[in-house]
Homo-oligomer: A and B are copies of this chain.
Amino acid sequence: METEKNYHMTADDFRKQGHALIDWIARYYETVEALPVLSQNRPGDVRRQLPEHAPQTGEPFSVMMQDVERIILPGVTHWQSPNFFAFFPSNSSYPAVLGELLSAGLGVQGMLWASSPACTELETHVMDWLVDMMDLPPGFKSDSAGGGVIQESASSGALCAIVAARERATELASNRRGCNGRLTAYASTQAHSSIEKAIKLAGIGGENLRLIPTDARYAMRPDALAAAIGQDREKGLKPFFVAATVGTTSVNGMDPLPEIGRICQAEKLWLHVDGAMAGSAAVCPEFRRFFIGLDSADSYCFNPHKWLFTNFDCDCFFVRNRAALIQALTILPEYLRNQATESGAVIDYRDWQVSLGRRFRALKLWFVIRHYGVEGLQHHIRRHVRWAQTFAGWVSENEAFELTAPPPLNLVCFRLRGSDALNQTLMDRLNQSGRLYLTHTKLNDRLVLRFCVGQTHTEFHHVQQAWNLITTFAQDLQKKQ
């Protein structure tokens, strides 16, 4: 049958361009180490090289790839460089990239079980795998009252947790009539900014989030939490939600889950635990001590897209009572009705998240787990932790530096003895050198450098090189003072 002219890329051209792009990516990973980690671009550098208007007629793919090399790449900060020690990592791996590629190729929507059953079932299955692999509470498995789902990020996971908690506390009245400004929530001063953002998004009000002080190790003080809850009850307010963190962003502080859990159970508050980066450590038995008490959590999330070799986005979010989550988030317009949903025999993940649509994200996580195996994941997590501990040892032994706190896992916070300005200059020069990238935080009103070991392709010699560079730059700075 004759087919009208079309502008699609042919399958053969896709094969050709696809092979070339695969090779480009492999070469990128082989050579990324030599590129300046932090982009040296100034504002507008990318845009001024791009044509003002979209092309009227199509262009060859090879021309686009030339522009990627020439315009885009210099504007990229190389999160996949082995010399990336900034923020939390957002590590990826070849199997994850292949999983993302397959997901894009299949291009299915997983909003309903019926809209692509494998998309839902593989996700449920892999989430169950994780519970066993990491010895997470069995109540997070799909054969219990709970279950797991892949969210876009810990931010959207926190929002879902807060809304589920809000509806549990108000018996769905807020969903019907709106919030009333009487609900109060709790997180430590070190909790991630996404908690405050989600509290605002959910109509709770930022002033109704109590920031609980932390102890010397930057962990939430349970006594202060209990006191804050008590004060709010005395005022006639309605405490409903606590966010605890396993591995805070600034310094990997570890909130004491058992004590916080007991308070939440006694006070009937929803406990959400944010293990965004550190959660991956639970794959190793020796790091599971940080997760003791997780069985009292109503919801928990961690991000394989940070530290488990699975490219963003992949936030694993678990709830102990899926009905509470679904009740808060469900919608069922006629055009989504179907027999599988009505049978009650299936999960429809649209009711577990903000958005309706969803990609087949389980593929990449499945590929990663199967490629590495549990022992491979353990091996790499252990290496990162060991190297960070070694790095912390070097810091401790060097009189020019101070270690802010003993690092529990793979994030080392330290500073050059001296002013904040000195530390800022040190960081800026290191980052401008292009040879590594690290970021900072403030602790006790002092600027502190953060060195996080979590990039997939980081080897020990990169950590050694980084420390050599840091000490060399520091000596140079101190000489000039």
Contact = CB atoms under 8 A, between A and B. Distances in A.
A96 B201 CA distance: 32
B61 A118 contact: no
Nearest to A115: B77
Interface in A94-138: 94-98, 100-102, 104-109, 113-119, 121-122, 124-125, 129-130, 132-133
A481 interface: no
A18 B25 contact: yes
A196 interface: yes
Contact of A59 (B63, B155, B193, B373): B373
A90 B76 contact: no
A200 B329 CA distance: 8
Given A107-B311, A156-B354, A7 B373 contact: yes
Contacts of A153: 355-357
A130 B175 CA distance: 36
B76 A108 contact: yes
Nearest to A45: B117
Interface string A240-277: 00000000011000000000000000000000000000
B25 A93 contact: no
Contact of A371 (B59, B105, B459): B59
Interface string A328-362: 11011111110010010110000000111111000
19 contacts: A14-B25, A14-B97, A19-B19, A43-B113, A43-B117, A57-B374, A57-B375, A58-B370, A58-B371, A59-B371, A72-B118, A76-B119, A152-B357, A153-B356, A155-B357, A193-B331, A200-B328, A312-B359, A313-B355
Interface stretch (A177-185, A228-236, A286-294, A470-478): A177-185
A331 B198 CA distance: 11
B46 A125 contact: yes
Interface in A176-211: 176-183, 192-194, 196-198, 200-208
Nearest to A450: B335
Interface in A282-334: 305, 311-313, 328-329, 331-334
Contacts of A333: 192-193, 249
Given A7-B372, A53-B129, A101-B101, A118 B39 contact: yes
A223 interface: no
Of all A-B residue pairs in the complex, the 7 with the closest CB atoms, nearest first, are A203-B203, A75-B118, A178-B205, A7-B376, A18-B22, A25-B105, A179-B203
A389 interface: no
A8 interface: yes
Most buried by B among A355, A459, A460: A355
A307 to B, nearest CB: 13
A345 B42 CA distance: 10
B59 A370 contact: yes
A87 interface: yes
Nearest to A251: B335
A191 to B, nearest CB: 10
Contact of A177 (B163, B205, B346, B383): B205
A114 to B, nearest CB: 7
A216 interface: no
Number of copies: 2
B104 A3 contact: no
Interface string A164-182: 0010000000111111111
Contact of A178 (B23, B59, B204): B204
Given A11-B29, A178-B205, A181-B180, A116 B77 contact: yes
A47 to B, nearest CB: 5
B118 A92 contact: no
A422 B380 CA distance: 59
Given A77-B117, A174-B203, A201-B354, 16 more contacts: A3-B461, A11-B26, A18-B19, A18-B97, A21-B102, A22-B101, A58-B376, A59-B370, A101-B104, A155-B354, A176-B207, A178-B207, A178-B208, A179-B203, A198-B354, A312-B359
A306 to B, nearest CB: 9
A87 B14 CA distance: 28
A214 interface: no
A334 B448 CA distance: 10
A440 B109 contact: no
A71 B118 contact: yes
A50 B122 contact: yes
A467 interface: no
Contacts of A96: 104
